[in-house]
């Protein structure tokens, strides 16, 4: 058992850490509400846009727009979205593990390149010598739609130029503050949605032309889907951080209780020892007299 001074210093240190974890939990909780509202508002639009374009692409020739063209797949781009910072439980580690497994499964048959969002993913794959085509860091504190536009333009340029033949996104999907789900979504080429047969098939009239319609909608579709992914990641990160800091604060409370008990026991043992020394000294003096 340590000295009284040593235990006292440990108690002070844990209390100081607990103040930080409580503050981080409060900040994450305050930011989470806004992030949750943004992703709830964005989901229906992104889902409907995906559904509409999927249905339209089932009724047109896939060679009318480069983003609809399916090529023989030789090169795959994997977009991995993590946070810029840690202290959010297993949020980053779970995404990176899933991405690594996916890359390992595809690596033998395809050439793999990476688009990385978040400093944690960039640092992780740089250390492992992976081929990084593009990286985006420090964007989540002031996340705006412009980042999704820039990323979308970069990915569209990469796909149309033949830098890769398929694009997959590995990211976290927000469920609640206590639950996030790691998903892998194929973004390019855009897949057609099977439309159920109806007695009277729907014949779409395109105004302007089909080519012009897809030329306007498809880049916007990519941007919207990427923005949704970024919003999902922000909400998931804040939820994971709030949960992790809450657990850390509770653990700190338990540690403080145990250290306080150890401090009291050590202090009691020290006082008992001192009393016994005094009694022993008194008895020795009495015998000498």
For the chain, 289 residues long, give each residue's pLDDT as a single digit of tens.
457 788 888 888 888 888 888 888 888 888 888 888 888 888 888 888 777 777 676 666 666 777 777 788 889 999 999 999 888 888 899 999 999 999 998 888 888 999 999 999 999 999 988 888 999 989 888 888 899 999 999 999 988 888 888 899 999 988 877 778 888 988 888 776 554 555 555 666 767 776 777 778 888 888 889 999 999 899 889 988 898 898 888 888 888 888 888 878 877 777 777 666 666 666 666 666 5
Say yes or no: 131 and 263 in one domain: no
Residue 26 lies in a domain: no
- The pLDDT, as a whole number, for residue 1 is 46
Which residue range forms the structural domain that includes residue 263?
A: 4-21+245-283
Instruction: Please list, in sequence order, all residues whose beta carbon lies within 8 angstroms of the beta carbon of residue 282, skipping any fewer than 6 positions away.
Output: none
Residue 136 lies in a domain: yes
Say yes or no: 114 and 227 in one domain: yes
183-239 per-position pLDDT tens digit: 898 888 877 655 455 555 566 676 777 677 777 888 888 888 999 999 989 988 998
Say yes or no: 120 and 173 in one domain: yes
Say yes or no: 191 and 268 in one domain: no
| Closest-CA residue to 67 (of 185, 279, 216, 197) | 216
Count of structural domains within the chain: 2
Select which of 88, 114, 155, 248 is catalytic: 88
How many degrees, rounded to 5, is the angle at CA 56 between CA 224 and CA 218? 30
Say yes or no: 117 and 48 in one domain: yes
User: Catalytic: 73?
Assistant: no
Say yes or no: 66 and 145 in one domain: yes
Q: Are strands 132-136 and 166-176 parallel, antiparallel or unpaired?
A: unpaired
Give the CATH number for residue 45. Answer: 3.40.1380.10
Sheet with 111-117: list strands edge to edge. Answer: 132-136, 111-117, 75-81, 166-176, 179-188
pTM for this structure? Answer: 0.81
CB atoms inside a 10 Å sphere around CB 10: 16
- The pLDDT, as a whole number, for residue 114 is 92
Chain centroid to CA 202: how far? 41
Say yes or no: 12 and 40 in one domain: no
Say yes or no: 106 and 44 in one domain: yes
Say yes or no: 216 and 271 in one domain: no
Say yes or no: 13 and 138 in one domain: no
Give the C-alpha separation, 249 to 16, whole Å: 11
- Asked whether 95 and 121 are in contact (CB, 8 A), the reply is yes
Residue 27 lies in a domain: no
| Closest-CA residue to 226 (of 42, 31, 34) | 42
Instruction: Please list, in sequence order, all residues whose beta carbon lies within 8 angstroms of the beta carbon of residue 32, skipping any fewer than 6 positions away.
Output: 177, 235, 238, 239, 242
- The pLDDT, as a whole number, for residue 96 is 93
- Asked whether 81 and 172 are in contact (CB, 8 A), the reply is yes
Question: In the chain, which ranges are continuous DSSP H helix?
Answer: 4-57, 91-107, 119-127, 145-160, 210-288
């Amino acid at each position: 058992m340590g000295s009284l001074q040593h235990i006292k210093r440990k108690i002070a240190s844990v209390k100081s850490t607990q103040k930080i974890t409580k503050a981080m939990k409060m900040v994450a909780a305050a930011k989470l509400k806004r992030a949750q509202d943004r992703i709830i508002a964005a989901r229906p639009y992104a889902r409907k846009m995906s559904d509409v374009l999927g249905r339209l692409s089932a009724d047109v020739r896939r060679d009318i727009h480069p983003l609809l063209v399916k090529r023989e797949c030789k090169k795959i781009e994997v977009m991995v979205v993590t946070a810029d910072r840690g202290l959010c439980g297993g949020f980053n580690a779970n995404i990176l593990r899933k991405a690594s497994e996916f890359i390992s499964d595809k690596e033998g048959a395809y050439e793999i390149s990476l688009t990385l969002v978040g400093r944690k993913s960039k640092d992780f794959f740089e250390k492992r010598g992976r081929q990084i085509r593009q990286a985006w860091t420090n964007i989540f504190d002031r996340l705006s739609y412009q980042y999704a536009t820039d990323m979308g333009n970069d990915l569209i340029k990469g796909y149309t130029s033949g830098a890769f033949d398929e694009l997959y996104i590995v990211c976290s999907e927000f469920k609640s503050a206590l639950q996030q789900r790691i998903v892998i979504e194929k973004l390019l080429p855009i897949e057609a949605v099977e439309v159920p047969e109806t007695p009277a098939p729907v014949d779409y009239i395109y105004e302007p032309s089909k080519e012009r319609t897809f030329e306007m909608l498809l880049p916007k579709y990519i941007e919207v889907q990427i923005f949704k992914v970024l919003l999902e990641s922000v909400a998931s990160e804040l939820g994971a951080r709030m949960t992790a800091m809450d657990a850390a604060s509770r653990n700190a409370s338990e540690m403080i209780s145990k250290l306080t008990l150890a401090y009291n026991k050590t202090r009691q043992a020290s006082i008992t020892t001192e009393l016994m020394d005094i009694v022993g000294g008194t008895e020795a003096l009495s015998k000498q007299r």
